[in-house]
Amino acid sequence: MFELTINGQAYQFHFGMGFLREANKTVSEKINNATDKKKDVGATYMIAGIIDGDPEDLVNALDLANKGQTPRVTRALLDSYVEDPDTDIDHLFGDVLDFLKIANATKKIVARLETRIEEERAKQN
């Protein structure tokens, strides 16, 4: 369980199967050019966005990971936390990514994305 303190209140974030299912619902792709078959793949895009430093993907991931937790953080509070100049946004990205790397539901996705990134960097050199 990942924990984040915002305005003195501790919030819990769980990057488990519930998070994975909800994140996956955000993007669907056709499977092998099939006309009627689709696969939900939003988590991959969301995690890639976090790796790229996209604050919108970061807030979306935190919002989904807090779903079902008590207390429930609001999107407005997450937005203001990310926008706050006192928030170390790079550290927050790093903490969330580190947790995604060890969570059973997401660690394979992160590893696959990191491998692709390294392969692309190797091609450019």
Residue 33 region, left (φ>0) first, then alpha (ψ -120 to 50), else beta?
left
**For the segment 59-100, what is each residue's pLDDT rounded down to a tens digit?**
999 999 999 999 999 999 999 999 999 999 999 999 999 999
Say whether pLDDT at 34 is over 90: no
> Mean pLDDT across the stretch 109-118?
96
Mean pLDDT, the chain, integer: 95
If pLDDT is split at 50, 70 and 90, which confidence band does 30 have? confident
- Report domain extents, the chain: 2-124
Q: What pLDDT does 14 receive?
A: 97
